Amino acid sequence: MSLIVHHLENSRSQRVLWLLEELGVPYEVRRYARDRKTMLAPPELRQVHALGKSPVITDGQLTVAESGAIVEHLLDVHDAAGRLRPPAGTEARRRFTYWLHFAEGSAMPPLLLKLVFDQVRKARVPFFVKPVVKTIADKVTASFIAPNIARQLEFMESELRGREWFAGDTFSVADIQMSFPLEAAQARGGLDARHPQLTAWLERIHARPAWNKALQVGGPYTLLT
């Protein structure tokens, strides 16, 4: 089998498995476990790609990294009928392209910063330094991170009013890309009663057979919180 997903547990590579299940494309999974102390990817991934990060796939002689590049490659090669990408020149295609890139370009950075500063707040430091560390972490979170997350969730919520999927009326790869930041937001307590559209959207993606099959293939999936 020429298509291999180098799958790091609890990572963005889960979306690649989901996409391949939606496309019905045969693939092989090579699993990598995170370091239990640092929670980073193992050094073995550097043998696949120089940065040693996931997701990354090998398709024949080609190695493709980065979520957006991977999904576009898979669509170009394996979705000639355009089932998961709206036709060029349409409003749905414009929305598709926007959300495809929004997921990593805008949605993930503040969520990642929240994860980092939550870890800083819990870090083991000398007792006389801990109040300073906690004060800095709390101030950055309150003044920058939390308002950005709240603003983005409000925007995403408004964009789903009147439509079931991010590109429009039809499920697309934009929804697959958006799954990771919204699952992360849910796992970190960002979604609540103010976000009924986003909550309903998560229920819709979790009901998809391909999403559930990808979970079976990829193994236990827990977002780092």
**CATH number, residue 30:** 3.40.30.10
* Token pair for 136: 């800095």
Predicted pLDDT of residue 68? 93
- 59 in the same domain as 12: yes
Beta-strand relationship, 56-59 and 62-65: antiparallel
Residues 190, 145 within the same domain: yes
Q: What pLDDT is attached to residue 225?
A: 42
Q: In terms of domains, do 80 and 122 share one?
A: no
Query: Is residue 215 in a domain?
Result: no
**In percent, how much of the chain has pLDDT > 90?**
66
What is the tens place of the pLDDT at every residue in 164-217? 999 999 999 999 999 999 999 998 888 999 999 999 999 999 999 999 999 999
Q: What is residue 223's predicted lDDT score, i.e. its pLDDT?
A: 65
Average pLDDT over the chain reads 90
Quick: pLDDT tens for 132-144: 778 888 898 888 9
CA distances from 83 to 3, 127, 166, 190 (A): 20, 57, 15, 32
User: Residue 225 falls within a domain, yes or no?
Assistant: no
Is residue 95 pLDDT above 60, yes or no? yes
Tell me how far CA of residue 207 lies from CA of 31, 187, 201, 224, in angstroms.
25, 18, 10, 22
* Whether residue 78 is found in the same domain as residue 96: no
Q: Do 43 and 62 fall within a single domain?
A: yes
Residue 102: both structure tokens together:
């929004």
Q: What is the pTM of this model?
A: 0.90
104 and 18 in one domain?
no
* pLDDT of the residue at 220: 74
pLDDT at 1: 56
Residue 160 has pLDDT above 90, yes or no: yes
Q: Are 30 and 84 in contact (CB under 8 A)?
A: no
**pLDDT of amino acid 33:** 84
> Structural domain of residue 53, as residue ranges?
3-84
Winning range, highest mean pLDDT, from 48-52, 72-76, 217-221: 72-76
Q: Provide mean pLDDT across the span 122-131.
A: 76
> Total structural domains in the chain?
2
pLDDT digits (tens, 9 = 90+) for 14-32: 999 999 999 999 999 998 8
pLDDT band (50, 70, 90) for residue 91:
very high
